[in-house]
Structure 1
């Protein structure tokens, strides 16, 4: 049996001079995080549909509460959202499949145009004094048949994913039905922890607000980009609008990735003027929505450090694959909001932010 003195000495060795956890605590905690992430990766096939359903449920919580406050029965409100999200999925996948198939048929034209542009660029570089032998004669391009086969594979994969979305929509519906009973469950589960219930509710409200506003602004971004590209005359405007809306969840990096293929198609299909107009459209939309509209709607910046964004993409992409990369920033933001809700961990939330926000402290 240990004496009180030995126990106190052990406690002192565990805690550092400031009364906080020791280095061993951080090492054990880090190892536990790695083990949990590896476990999630092993069951990602099961977790991914539930993760998408949870994201949709959180994004739909605000319109669900709005309908219930206006007298719409809970079951009817859930069915309206279920049908609306299901129709949206169907339209998105149908548009993606059609765009991919059309792109495959137009691949020879783009290859020919790209070859012409490369030849013109090579001639210009040679006229500047660069030795011709140091430049490649032609740009290496895949065969047309390879592009066609790849497009067919992507279209088939989209069709299979469409069939798998039934499980996502089913889980989405049941999560919405659970939303109305969550406050009561928290009260019963933690009857003596009023402060913990208040913090949990504050955290859930912050998550609901962030996901809803980010989803709304991403949808607006996709609609404006798609409409603008259609007016400019860029091919596949619906496809680029969908990409812009989805990748809007990833700050800075997402907008660059979304703009690159659209600018390339605009340059090959319409020339330099269309490419410049496309770049201007992406810059204007991202500045207006990402830098002005979102901070005003959210009340304060919820940005992440660029380094944290990069690490989030790698970590969540490793754990959940493409779904994890798409939802990497929302998942990290949820973790950041959870850290802000606890006074003991707010300093971690400050380090994750893109600036020193005094209101987090």
Structure 2
């Protein structure tokens, strides 16, 4: 009697197998996009839980009861969300009130530039009289809409916080569950623990570096008197999760605001602040803490931004690099898939390890 277990495919070329794998990946990504509004809150909660796992373990090692430790972390994260929302709300309201002023200044700069170039012999018809900027009412309306939406905790935020709390409660028994799930596979348990430690370490260091980046840049801009300094600090901290590209994107609006509102010298000082902070934290301190082996190829970063941004929208772009890094750590943790992790790296040194 023949076995009902399907035999492995034979005679299928590796090209066809790769094609089938790519098709399966596209189907999975399409499914995730369709249920993105459900997955995204739990994804954010999972990242928060991973970041808070080391502090939770530290509190438990110091004899603080597990439920109390979870409640402390839940309160801290909830308060942080609330303060961020308040800061963004105030910044959006301030931007709504000052948008007409900045647009008038920009139009004045454009007129002066046209006159200067025309005085040097450039035909006026080659110079644009206006730039396609949004109307002042449109900018004000968007800013006020953002302020109104951020002024309250939404259902999604509450869902994130609740899921975060339950994930922390679950994390306390994760080690015991690994032992029960793999009772006779010690090597599998070791690999799982090594992978989890790598993820914890990466996200904790990256979050600390991003927080430091946001605080230093926000404080520096406030000291210089740049408008919306708190907003630019929050943006710098969030976009620090995206290597290189995020730092550039975060610097552009703050530098433009400094040039338009304060002057050329102040704008250059703001630019120097961004360069100094991102060089010190992103290129010196962070690599030393993480280790150079955790780098991702710039091409992989760009592809991950496009893919996760398509699947989960702006939140996906924000979490694209952490998601990709977790995938790389998972690939590195197994000898069978380590080759894929090597291909995702930004260096070839690992090939000779």
TM-score bracket relative to the smaller structure: over 0.9
Indicate the SS of the match to 1:344.
coil
Indicate the SS of the match to 1:106.
helix
Pairing 1:102–2:90 present? no
Q: How does 1:236-251 map to 2 (within 5 A)?
A: 236-251=228-243
**2:70 paired residue number:** 78
Pairing 1:285–2:277 present? yes
Pairing 1:332–2:324 present? yes
Note if contact 1:350-1:360 (Cα within 8 Å) is conserved in structure 2.
no
Distance 1:351 1:128, change over 3 A: farther
**2:311 paired residue number:** 319
The whole-number CA distance in structure 1 between the counterparts of 2:325 and 2:185 is 25
**1:190 paired residue number:** 182
Note if contact 1:221-1:289 (Cα within 8 Å) is conserved in structure 2.
yes
Instruction: Choose the corresponding residue for 1:58, options 17, 38, 50.
Output: 50
Distance 1:360 1:181, change over 3 A: farther
Pairing 1:142–2:134 present? yes
Offset from partner CA, 1:174-232 (integer Å, 9 cap, x none) = 10111110111111111122111111110010000000000000000000000000111
1:299 CA displacement: 2.8
**1:19 paired residue number:** none
Indicate the SS of the match to 1:169.
helix
Distance 1:305 1:263, change over 3 A: same
Instruction: Choose the corresponding residue for 2:302, options 310, 320, 327.
Output: 310
1:357 CA displacement: 2.9
For structure 1, which runs of at least 5 residues remain unmatched after alignment? 17-21
Distance 1:127 1:302, change over 3 A: farther
1:307 CA displacement: 1.2
Q: How does 1:218-237 map to 2 (within 5 A)?
A: 218-237=210-229
For structure 2, which runs of at least 5 residues remain unmatched after alignment? none
Note if contact 2:89-2:147 (Cα within 8 Å) is conserved in structure 1.
yes
Offset from partner CA, 1:259-314 (integer Å, 9 cap, x none) = 01001111111011111011000000000000111111113342211111111111
1:163 CA displacement: 4.3
> Across the two proteins, how many residue pairs are aligned to each other?
350
1:149 CA displacement: 1.2
Note if contact 2:89-2:150 (Cα within 8 Å) is conserved in structure 1.
yes
The whole-number CA distance in structure 1 between the counterparts of 2:84 and 2:214 is 12
Pairing 1:90–2:79 present? no
Note if contact 1:349-1:360 (Cα within 8 Å) is conserved in structure 2.
no
What is the TM-score normalised by the length of structure 2? 0.94
**2:342 paired residue number:** 350
- Please report the RMSD computed on the Cα atoms of aligned residues, expressed in angstroms: 1.9
Range with greater deviation from structure 2 (81-90 or 125-134): 125-134
Note if contact 2:293-2:350 (Cα within 8 Å) is conserved in structure 1.
no
1:360 CA displacement: 8.4
Range with greater deviation from structure 2 (187-196 or 84-93): 187-196
The whole-number CA distance in structure 2 between the counterparts of 1:139 and 1:239 is 26
Note if contact 1:86-1:169 (Cα within 8 Å) is conserved in structure 2.
yes
Indicate the SS of the match to 2:296.
coil
Pairing 1:157–2:157 present? no
Indicate the SS of the match to 1:288.
helix
**1:46 paired residue number:** 38
Pairing 1:295–2:287 present? yes
Distance 1:198 1:288, change over 3 A: same
**1:120 paired residue number:** 112
1:69 CA displacement: 1.5
Note if contact 2:342-2:351 (Cα within 8 Å) is conserved in structure 1.
no
Note if contact 2:45-2:163 (Cα within 8 Å) is conserved in structure 1.
yes
Distance 1:131 1:321, change over 3 A: same
**1:132 paired residue number:** 124
